[in-house]
Amino acid sequence: MFDTLSDRLNNVFDRLRGRGALGEQDVRDAMREVRIALLEADVALPVARDFIARVTERAVGQEVLKSVTPGQQVIKIVNDELIAMLGGEEEGAGEASPINLDVKPPAVVMMVGLQGSGKTTSTAKIAKLLKEKQGKKPLMASLDVNRPAAQEQLAILGEQAGVATLPIVQGQQPVDIAKRAMESARLQNVDVLLLDTAGRLHVDEALMAEMKAVAGVSSPAEVLLVVDSLTGQDAVNVAQSFTNEVPLTGVVLTRMDGDARGGAALSMRAVTGKPIKFAGTGEKLDAIERFHPARVADRILGMGDVVSLVEKAAESIKAEEAEELANRMMKGKFDLNDLRKQLQQMQNMGGLGMLAGMMPGMKKAKQAMAGAEMDDKVLVHMDAVISSMTKKERANPALLNAKRKKRVAAGSGRSVQEVNKILKMHQEMGRAMKQIRKMGGMKGLAAMFGAGGGGAMGGAPSGAPGLPGGGMPGLPGGEIPPEMQDFLKKK
């Protein structure tokens, strides 16, 4: 979502980094470009104006103009203010704003918003997250009696998420459904009751009257406004309208994985005064995450999001399997079955684009992937090729002669050249593992990274840290062994 804004900001900051000293006019010129970038990203004008004013006030001060690294100081100030704009000044160092469940059960979470914003799906996603991550017992109830099959949709999503839903009683009105849901939640000792309210095509008096009536009988602990981030500034206008009528406690942004310009996300906190609590990142029921202002700011500025990457890895990869795979690789027993598992893990973690976007300094690598038309389909194609091989061929790739390669290519719908590429990748990974073994295994490699005083990422220039061209901080001379250089260049 933030790719265009991120590119514009990084172009500005690249020019600042190259300057040994910055004058006041240099800072003001850079801030003018940042302002243009924000406005082109569809950020609300008052929000962009206030942001630039705060950054400029700090940036033209002594902390930047007399700094040893003025460019880096400006970037830090922009990062700090970006976190504050996204709501990080109240949530503690940019951490996610918690959902308030510290009330007498059942804690009622009321989902409001316009029709088509993704309320019903978001309700199921949040219920699943509360059940699996926080150990809560949720119950969902649909109060949408206007949209055809809305209640049935929530029931189906409840089955998929493993979350109970309130039985449907035809003809019952929203306020009566809310009362029945409250009684049912008490009888079943439910921790959290999620009410999926009806929406309209636009904000009107009937919609607001219904919201207030439901809130009156349920006394919600949380009133979450669901807005579609693809609607841009209109999402901000909708949020403002709801804020004036309903006591909102937070915002849920859907379709954060889309190609919108990101202005809604950046403006929402400043316009509503309410924190963004969740962000929908896909269509699947587990494609929702807590909104961390600091992490989002880091992604926008191209600093990556290693914490979220580690969390995704922890969720997707089982420790036993990872340890077994590492041991096999160190022993030189890495076969195509192991490569296939790695490809599947990458898919489970969000694909190539998602992983590249979360790695610090990988912006250029991500752009190169896009230019070479390398998307997540590459992983699917590679998995199809490996799946077309027999068990013996996967365990012993040396069996794959020309005749077998043609059969594998035909079976997977790919070309023989693609089959050869995968086999070559496997061979190069094997050689890379042998090189690591010569260094003393993972412990020896870690020791080399710690040597040289560079730190894990210290001293890395802009670009992809640790990749050829930027050197590998910590290794003697910042160089990567030739075998590993060849492997990384091709990847």
Dump pLDDT digits (tens) for 11-30: 777 777 766 666 778 788 88
pLDDT of 400-457, one tens digit each?
899 999 999 999 898 899 899 888 888 887 777 777 666 665 555 455 445 443 333 3
Q: Name the 3-class secondary structure at 227.
A: strand
Tens of pLDDT, residues 429-445: 777 777 766 666 555 54
Query: What sign does the dihedral 318-323-329-334 (CA atoms) show?
Result: negative
Are residues 12 and 18 in contact, defined by beta-carbon separation less than 8 angstroms? no
- 185 confidence band (pLDDT: 50, 70, 90): very high
Task: List, in sequence order, every residue forming a beta bridge with 254; answer none if it has no partner.
Answer: 228
Between CA 113 and CA 110 the distance in angstroms is 10
Least confident of 243-252, 371-380, 437-446: 437-446
Q: For 356-367, write each residue's pLDDT tens digit.
A: 555 555 555 555
Residue 23: the pLDDT is 73
The per-residue pLDDT for range 328-364, each reduced to its tens digit, is: 666 666 778 777 777 777 766 665 555 555 555 555 5
Closest CA to 279 of 136, 103, 150, 129: 129
- Percentage with pLDDT > 70 across the chain: 68
Q: Are strands 288-290 and 276-280 parallel, antiparallel or unpaired?
A: antiparallel
Task: Show the CA angle centred on residue 183, arms to residues 179 and 187, nearest 5°.
Answer: 170
Question: What's the full length of the chain, in residues?
Answer: 491
pLDDT at 295 over 70: yes
CB 197 within 8 A of CB 144: yes
What backbone torsions phi and psi does residue 309 show, to the nearest 5 degrees? -65, -45
DSSP helix/strand/coil, 142? strand
Within 10 A of 368 (CB to CB), how many other CB atoms are there? 13
- What is the torsional sign of CA 87, 255, 296, 17? negative
Max mean pLDDT among 31-35, 242-246, 259-263, 318-322 falls in 31-35
What would the two tokens of residue 392 be? Answer: 């013996």
Cα separation, 91 vs 295, in Å, equals 13
What sections of 372-415 are H helices per DSSP? 377-387, 391-395, 402-412
Q: Counting runs of H as helices and runs of E as strands, what totals does the chain give?
A: 24, 8
CB 42 within 8 A of CB 55: no
Region 303-312: what's the mean pLDDT?
Answer: 51
pLDDT of residue 142: 92
